[in-house]
Each structure stands twice: as C-alpha cells, then as structure tokens.
Structure 1
Amino acid sequence: MNLANEARQFLRNTRSGMLSTLSTKFPGYPFGSVAPFVLDHNAQPIILISTLAEHTHNIAANSKVSMLVFAGAEDLQANSRLTLIGEATKIDKNDTDLRARYLRYLPQAASYFDMHDFSFYRIQIAHARYIAGFGRMGWVDGAQLSGQELNAEPNQLESQETGIIEHMNADHHENLITYCKHFHGVIASEVTMLGIDCDGFDVDSKDESGKQKILRFHFETPISDANSARKALVAMAQASRN
C-alpha cells in the first residue's frame, strides 16, 4: 500500500483531532483546540462549530487551518499520526445526507443542530504529512489523499449511503456480527453499521461484556455505488463463513 492510501485508511479510522487556526486575538500565533469530525465521501473532515468559539472567529478572518490526527495516547511519538493542512469553508448544516452521516457517528451532537449558532465547516485538504512509524513518513497531496482517482466510476455513495445502511441493519444483522468475528475477532452482541465509503465501512459494536467499539472494515477494491457495495459485502460474508 502506498503512503497516500495508507494515510487515507488511517484518517478513516479516526474521528477527533487537534485543530489549529491563526489567532485574531494574538496575531501571528496559532491557536489549538480539540475538534471531533466526520469525514465526507471525499475523505475531507467535517466539523460542527459554534460562532461563539474562538476557532470560528479565527477561521472567519483566515480560513487556512491545520489539524493533527493521531491514534492512541500511550506513546504519541511511536504511533502513527497525520497532519492535515487546508482551508475551512462553511457549508449547509441542513444537507440531509451529510447531517445523517454526522449524527450516526456523533449522535451526542444532535442538540447542536437546533441551535442557530452552530454550523458545518469542511476542511478541504491541500497537503498532509503522514508519519506511519520510524523511517516511514512523507508529504501527501490533498487530491491523492481523497482517493477518488482510484475508482473509474463516479462515486454515488453520498446519496445512496443511508439506504445501504438501513438495508444492512434491518436485513443483514447476522452478517454484521459475522464480519466482527471473522475480521476483528470480536464476538458482538449488538452491531450497527454507521457509514460506508469507497474504501470500506464502519460498525458500532458491543461485545458480551458490554464494551463498545467502532470497528473499521476495508474493501479489497474501492466501491462507488450500491451495486458494487452489495458485491463487496456479499464477498466478505462468504469469506467470513469459510
């Protein structure tokens, strides 16, 4: 796997980071703040922030931002991490598909949508610095990080995702449980598919002890629509039963 693909897969496994903006209160200084996010279907982070927040004031004055994404806090220098550099742009928080995707991953944010001072911002990634481990690091172009060029077919998943998820959760619950056991060794008592994208899908799982965890599943080849998703999911179901 090349560095860009590895960096994108790492990004798809994360949902929080440290957002840095350029301070308006103290010009010339960066301002860091925690920022939960959900990726759109082009692997661009979507954040939901208040007009009252310091970083929102900063973005209004200068849209150039950076976000540090990392996994695990045990040994930060040894673990993989990804620094995103891009521009934050305000987008419609009432986008039905995007709102549904955001709330599947971050349901605790539901009340924010009823507040007039919260808005969606998309971070359009221009460049990324990925550190996979000692001696494995490099810069990745933002267009490469999106991964859209890997699939020859137009990506229709943005509009089809909700339907795919509802179908899987209603009619293929047992398959989701089987995926958890075969690919992650997790004996799940409860499972819910949260999202599906060109690279794979995420499942919210709860094991017999009650431990909850979001599990990531990778497709062998990228998908672009409901039909290719069905084929990939069927193949995974067959592999899980062998």
Structure 2
Amino acid sequence: MTEPAVRDPYLAPDETARRQARQLARSAGHGALSCLEPETGDPLVSRVALGHLPGGQPLLLVSDLSPHTRALAVDGRCALMVGELGAGDPLSHPRLMIKARAHALSRDAPDAALARARFLARHPKAELYVDFPDFRFLRLDIVSALFNAGFARAYRMTPGDVSETVPDDLQGVEARVRTHMNDDHAEAIDAILKQHGAEGSGWRIATIDPLGFEAVNGERARRVEFRRRVDASSDYRLAFVELVRASEG
C-alpha cells in the first residue's frame, strides 16, 4: 500500500512574513544558541547576547572560556532561536529559528571594526570586556530559517528572506546618519517609535541598514522598517522623512 504524501506544514513566505521575521531577529538582544559538544556529539545550548551586521547576519561576542565557543571552533554548525515572551501561552508568541554556520572574525578582519561598533551600540556595557584577549566575535552565516508567526502561520525561509549583502558605501555612512538623527532629530525618533507602538521618550537609533533601523531605550529595543528600501546613501534622508510624515498622521 502506498503511503499517503505528507503535506509540508510550512508556508512560502510573503513580504509581510519576511518583514515580521526581520523585526523579530534584528530587535532581539539575546537568544538561545545550540551547537554540538565536541567530545560527545551531544547537543549543547547557551543563552547569548546578539548583535547584527548590516545584512542581518547574527553577531556574537564570545569568550574562549565558554563551552559553546570551544564547540563552534570544532564544528561551526549551530542553531539560534529568538522570540520575546508575553502574556498567555508562550507557544502563541512568534519565534524565529535560524540554522547557521559560525565563523570567527579576527581582530584585523575587514568587518571587525564594524562588528565591534554595531555590537556595542546594542550592548554598551560590553565595552568593559570587548577587547579582552580571550573575547572574539562570531558571525553566523544563515543557512535556513523557520518562522512561526502564530497558529497555522509557519514559514520556511531561505537566507535571502532574512539576510542580504549590503554595499560598502551604505555601510560607510551608517555612523554619520545615526549620529545626525540622534543629535539633531531626537523628537522625530520618539514620534516614529510612538507611531510603531513603542512607549516613552528618549529613544535613540543604535543601528541602521537599507531596510530599517533598530532603536534602543534602556533595555528595550524596537525595529522600524523603512517604507522602501534604501539603495543609495542619499536615500536615507527621504526614508526618515517618510517615517516622520507618517507619524504626523
């Protein structure tokens, strides 16, 4: 007897699902990282602090003393889960599971300075130990992802759904755009965040990429996506103007 075909429970992602997954991933300050213990091959899980490169690749600052650092040095295969809990059933809240390969960044790597700046923008207290000799950055290159957005809304995603390659010229202006917005347009940032459901004042932009930005306020973080993708450094101004106008109703 022929076995009945098993239907794939995962949906093909649309732009709404991609946007939700990006918001969940890039606003996450921490996540659960799983890897394989070298001595036994058994699974190992750790809680890790997260940053992100401009293209959305997760970024870890790890100590050589940590078991997951030693494990990933032997076998870079890993998985990362992010998702914030809220009221009610924990399984009813969105979560993103990323399958990845971990790669260590040497201190003289081309993107090492960028990684350091972006990680500290999200975790400023890490400046106390980021330059210790036993600490290093790991970049997680995404292999695939599963996004559970709620009941009957689960999506199977490719690396291109949650990450991308960002041109050097756009990466090069990030610090200037961020400083300008934080120093000269603080009220506009608060208005944008309020329009996107964030409470309070004093929000500051931590990181920017062609699709949006992450803002922080104390321990809180929120991602806001632009209304259209930024393709040139001069487009950042229009992207923020559109968000400000939308916040004004």
TM-score with structure 2 setting the length? 0.84
Which protein is richer in strand relative to its size? 1
Q: Is the 8 A contact 2:213 2:223 kept in 1?
A: yes
C-alpha separation in 1, matches of 2:233 and 2:185? 15
Number of the residue aligned with 2:243:
236
Q: 1:120 to 1:176 in 2, by over 3 A?
A: same
Number of the residue aligned with 1:173:
186
Residue 182 of structure 1, CA deviation: 3.1
Q: List gaps (5 residues or longer) in structure 2.
A: 1-14
Q: 1:226 to 1:37 in 2, by over 3 A?
A: same
Amino acid at match of 2:102: A
Amino acid at match of 2:59: I
Number of the residue aligned with 1:137:
154
Count of aligned pairs between the two proteins: 231
Q: Is the 8 A contact 2:178 2:207 kept in 1?
A: yes
Number of the residue aligned with 1:3:
17
Residue 185 of structure 1, CA deviation: 5.8
C-alpha separation in 2, matches of 1:35 and 1:225? 33
Alignment of 1:1-242 (within 5 A): 1-25=15-39, 27-72=40-85, 74=87, 75-93=89-107, 95-147=112-164, 154=167, 156-184=169-197, 186-188=199-201, 190-205=202-217, 213-242=220-249
Q: 1:220 to 1:107 in 2, by over 3 A?
A: same
Amino acid at match of 1:202: E
Residue 48 of structure 1, CA deviation: 0.5
Residue 30 of structure 1, CA deviation: 0.5
Amino acid at match of 1:224: D
Residue 29 of structure 1, CA deviation: 0.9
Q: 1:128 to 1:176 in 2, by over 3 A?
A: same
The two structures, once aligned, show a CA RMSD in angstroms of: 2.1
Q: Is the 8 A contact 2:81 2:98 kept in 1?
A: yes
C-alpha separation in 2, matches of 1:121 and 1:234? 35
Q: 1:48 to 1:138 in 2, by over 3 A?
A: same
C-alpha separation in 1, matches of 2:99 and 2:107? 23
Residue 137 of structure 1, CA deviation: 0.7
Number of the residue aligned with 2:4:
none
C-alpha separation in 2, matches of 1:196 and 1:125? 20
TM-score with structure 1 setting the length? 0.87
Q: Is the 8 A contact 1:97 1:159 kept in 2?
A: no
Identity of aligned residues (%): 28
Q: Name whichever of 32-41 and 94-103 sits farther off.
A: 94-103
C-alpha separation in 2, matches of 1:147 and 1:21? 24
Residue 198 of structure 1, CA deviation: 1.9
- Structure with higher RCO (Cα < 8 A, 6+ apart): 2
Q: List gaps (5 residues or longer) in structure 1.
A: 207-211
Residue 51 of structure 1, CA deviation: 0.9
